[in-house]
Structures are given as C-alpha cells and as structure tokens.
Structure 1
Amino acid sequence: MNEKNLDYLKEGLKYMGFGTSLNGELEKHLQGQQPEFRLGLQIPHHNSRMDYTLHFRRSDQSDMYFFNKYDATLKPDDSAREVSQTFYINKNSGITAKEAYNLLNGRSVHKELVNAENQPYKAWLQLDPQAKDQQGNHKVKQFHENYGFDLEKTLQKFHINELQDPQQKERLLRSLERGNQQLVTAKEEGYEVKRYIEASPQFKTINVYNEQRHLAKRETIQKQDKEVRQAHQVPQKGTRQDLAAQDQPEEKRSQRKGLAI
C-alpha cells in the first residue's frame, strides 16, 4: 500500500468536508488493491439528511488511487422529494460536502474556477432545478463577476449589525459565499431582530428568513436610499466646499452630498 497516497486521500477527505470517519475503511480498500471502490457517508442537518457516495479509482499507470467524484442526495424530513447531484473532484479540490448541501437546497455558492484556456475566474454557481443533462445531473447556472452582483455592496443596503465589526463582517461574507444560510442581528422598525440571510446572486440581492427559517420580507430590514448613499460616501474634509456645506441647512447639505455620488 502506498502510504503517501493514503495520507493524500485522507487530507482530501478532510479538506472536502467529509471528516475523518472514513479513514479506516479507506485504508482497508487501499490494502485490497481493488481497481475501484466506493465509500458511503451520511451527514445529518437540522431538518434533513445528506447521503454521500464517494468514488475512488486506481491509476492505470501506478498504484495511486484518486478521489474522482461523489454522489450527493438531499433527503428532507418533510414531504419534499429527494434531490441528487454528482460532483467531480480535481486534485482534492471542488464542491465541498457542505456546499453540495447548500446547492441541493437551491442556494448559490461562490467558487474559483478554471476556463477552457486554463485561466482562473470566480463565479457564483446555482443548480437549475428545471434542467438536467444526459447523465441526470442538474445543469449549473453561473453568474460571473461581470454579471453585476457584489455581495459586500449588497449587504450595505441592509441594517445588519455584523457589518460594523471587520472580523464579523469577513466571517459573514465567507459564510454566505459558501452558500450558507447565516444568522445575523438586524434592525427592523427600530428594534433588533434575529434573521437568517442567504445570497441571491441571480436577482442581485439577498433572501431573508425569520428565526423559524420562513421567508420574510427583505424590505423590513432594508435601509432607505438616503442611508445607503451616506454609507458609501467618502467625505472630503478640509475642502472649501466642505467648509461651506457646514453653514447650510441640513436639507441642502443632503442634496449636495447626493450630487457628489
């Protein structure tokens, strides 16, 4: 058995979000020197379960095994039907186990990809529930950077407390990019409330849910247009226009700021 190969595969499983529970079974299969094998895993979630079947294959030129792909099936606890998708792995990299769960739930995931010319690019990915390819996989919709969705700028349109702290803001952005439905503290009609949010790049906004994860109106935590303009404005201190603005009524100062955007 190739020990380095075993360590490489273990590292890949951990990085892809499958943990270490499969390591013992993985080692037994590598010792058996089968041409290919599969490993099964179940991961529970708050109202559903994910079933994974991981596919491994030995190289035709060496004793090296590779983790090539996995089948993921979302099994909701309610009456909703199961949803499945096959995700392909390249050099221990690809859609993680949690990202697969989010995609099968209809959410979007932000990933760095490579085009046909081997050039890297970033895009939001979302499964198309209405369209499948010849292998039975849902087709994947991509929303590139030039599509016009900027998650950070979009969040600035909402009263979200976590955006005020740089570390919390960074964690929030990374979590939403992984497709998570993230709990935040928001302001609604002057009161602090708990809300779940998720990225919605196709419609260039976010979706908002209450604490029971039922869809809520995003407008209830959205800033007014004037607040959004002020949040994005960089004041020019010390200029003649700035000093003059201080002597003007509040309404005129707001108009001046609006023209400067």
Structure 2
Amino acid sequence: MDQKNLEYLQKTLDYLGFGTRLNEVLESAVYRGLDRFSLGINQRYIPGEFRSDPAKGVDQMRFEINFSKAKETGVYFLNSYEGSLIRYNTSEPVMQRFELERDNRMSALQCYKLLCGLSLQKEILVKNTSGSTEGERERVPVWFRLDLSVTGNNGNHPVNKFFPGYGYDLEQSIGKYPFKGLEDEEKKQAVTKALRYGNLVELSLSIDGKEHAVYVAANPRLKTLDIYSKDMQQLRDNQIFSSQKAEGQNTPRAFEGILPPPQVAKQFPWKQQGGDKEPKIGR
C-alpha cells in the first residue's frame, strides 16, 4: 500500500467537504487492492431559509464517492461522486454526478447548493488565449448553475457555465432593488460575497412603502436576482415595483397573492458543459 497515495486521497476527501469520517474505510479498501470501489456518506444541511431556526427542517444528502486504481502504477484516484438530495419538503431525490476534473472539483457543499437550484461563482483555470506562452492558463471567475428542468441520458442535469463575457453584473443587479441597510459598504460587500458563494441571503426590501423580509439569490442566467417572500414564494419585478406603475393599472401588489412565473423561452446564450470558507450570511 502506497502511504503517500492514501494520505493524498484522505486530504482530498477533507478538502471536498467530507471530513475524516471515511479515512479508515478508505484505508481498508486501498489495503485490499481493489481495482474500483465506492464509499458512501450521508450529510445533513440546514436550508438557507431556516438558518435562523434549524428546527424547521433539514435537507438530506447522500454521496457515493468513486475510486479507481491505475493499471500501470497501482496509484488510486478519486474520480467522481454522485450527490443525491432529498429536501425537507419533498420525497423525490434530485441527483447529479460530478466528475472532479471536468466539473472543476465541486465540493460537497457546492454540490448541495447547485442541487437546491442555486447559482454560485467559482474561479477555474482556462487556457489563456491572449498569452504569449503556449499552454498557459489563467484563473477566471465563472458562474455555475444546474438546469434542473432537463435530464440527459446519463441521468445528469446540464451544468451551465456563465463566463465574464456573458455580462452578468451582480453589483448592478443588487443596486436595482430597494434593499434596506446596504448603504453600509461593508455589509453590501458581505452580501455580495455571500451571493457569489451560492448562499440564500436574507435582506429587508422596501415594497409599497413598507419593509418586508425577503430571501435573495443570484441568477446569472437571467442576469438578475431571484427574490422570495418569507414562505419562499418568488416575487416578480412587477410586484416589487407595483407602486411605480401608472395609476389605473390593475397590478396586484407584492404581498397580496403571488403571481405565477412567466413563460420564458428556452435560450442557451451561455457556454454549456455537461470546502471553501464562507461568510456567515445565508446559505
């Protein structure tokens, strides 16, 4: 058994957010010399909307982590893992397989957030086309979001990637809405950072002259924010800005009934391919 190889795999598991609970069973599998094997682990996450009151519900994640041994060298590799999420209010799991290299080494927490339908930003290495050195790579901040409405033949959902050229400006999207308290630059930066991490952030929003607690998440695909009421019903711009409508229009106000989401044409203008420390705001 290659001790350095084993230690590297254990460190990788810890880095991905699985901790050290699998260390002993991993060592046993490597010691037996299996060509391929999988290790399972269950983890629980507190939904962002219940962060202030975890007793309201917990999301359950099941991970199956896949290892294989190279025939030539006998070195083991952590190749991929499958994540299966059952939310506190559903019984049907949402699943996704992440190939570590192809999918830019998503952590367990990042997998959970993506399966919840949230978007997150992550720096990835891409080929530097403007550089003079052949093969040179640079780090680029890229937004990730799963298209949970589509399932491929392999059971996976498309992983949508939004590069800087796509033009999503998170700060501009935040400034569009009458949030309270973001006049404080330090708090605004903390909120922005939390949204980039894929968190659901609780903020106070002025609607029809009154302040309401809402939840906010980044939406790079539509270049805006997703805003929800306290009971997680999505609020549309015509509800939030209803008081600005011309007099005489029969526009429902934001908290007098939630409007159904509009029909959005299927467009794919993005490039599609298929444990970090975080701020304490939202999840």
2:76 to 57, 65, 86: 65
After superposition, the C-alpha distances for 1:6-53 in whole angstroms (9 at most, x for unaligned) are: 332222222212222222222222222222211111122344311110
Shift of 1:70: 0.3
Aligned partner of 2:24 in structure 1 is: 24
**Matching residue of 1:5:** 5
Q: 1:100 aligns with which of 88, 92, 111?
A: 111
**Residues 4 and 53 (structure 1), Cα distance of their counterparts in 2 relative to 1, 3 Å cut:** same
User: In the alignment, which of 89, 104, 108 is matched to residue 100 of structure 2?
Assistant: 89
Name the amino acid aligned to 2:27.
E
* Equivalence for 2:122: 111
Partners of 2:103 and 2:157 lie apart in 1 by 22
After superposition, the Cα gap between the structure-2 partners of 1:25 and 1:161, relative to the gap in structure 1 and judged at 3 Å, is farther
Partner of 2:229: 210
- Report the 3-state secondary structure (helix = DSSP H, G, I; strand = E; otherwise coil) of the residue aligned with 1:198: strand
Contact 2:104/2:124 (<8 A) preserved: no
> Structure 1, residues 159-200: CA drift from partner, whole Å, max 9, x if none?
445644454434322322232212234444555543211001
* Letter of the 1:70 counterpart: Y
**How big is each residue's C-alpha offset from its partner over 1:91-140, in whole Å with a ceiling of 9 and x where there is no partner?**
99511112111212222222233457764433222222343334221122
Structure 1 pair 43–139 and aligned structure 2 pair: CA distance change class (3 A): same
Instruction: Give the 3-state SS of the residue equivalent to 2:150 in structure 1.
Output: strand
CA contact (8 A) 2:121 2:196 kept: yes
Distance in 2, matches of 1:145 and 1:81, equals: 35
| 1:136 correspondence with 2:140 | no
2:166 to 135, 147, 156: 147
Residue 69 of structure 1, CA deviation = 0.4
Q: TM-score, normalised by structure 1?
A: 0.72
The structure-2 alpha-carbon separation of the partners of 1:14 and 1:191, relative to structure 1 and needing over 3 Å to count, comes to: farther
Give the residue type in structure 1 aligned to 2:95. Answer: S
C-alpha contact (below 8 Å) 1:67/1:92 kept by paired residues:
no
Letter in 2 for 1:183: E
Describe the shift of the 1:56–1:165 C-alpha distance in structure 2 as closer, same or farther (beyond 3 A): farther
- Aligned residues, how many? 224
| Residue equivalent to 1:35 | 35
C-alpha distance in 1 between matches for 2:102 and 2:20: 18
**What is the rounded CA distance, in whole Å, between the counterparts of 2:189 and 2:62 in structure 1?**
31
CA offset at residue 54 of structure 1? Answer: 0.5
Query: How many percent identity over aligned positions?
Result: 29
Moved over 6 A (4+): 219-222
Q: Give the Cα–Cα distance (whole angstroms) in 1 for the partners of residues 110 and 181 of structure 2.
A: 23
Runs of 5+ unmatched residues, structure 1: 226-261
Task: Evaluate the alpha carbon distance shift between residue 64 and residue 79 of structure 1 in structure 2; reply closer, same or farther with a 3 A threshold.
Answer: same
What amino acid does structure 1 have at the position aligned with 2:22?
A: L
Name the structure with the higher helix share. 1
Highest RCO, 1 vs 2 (Cα 8 Å, sep ≥ 6) = 2
Unaligned runs of 5+ in 2: 46-56, 129-134, 245-283
Greater C-alpha Rg: 1
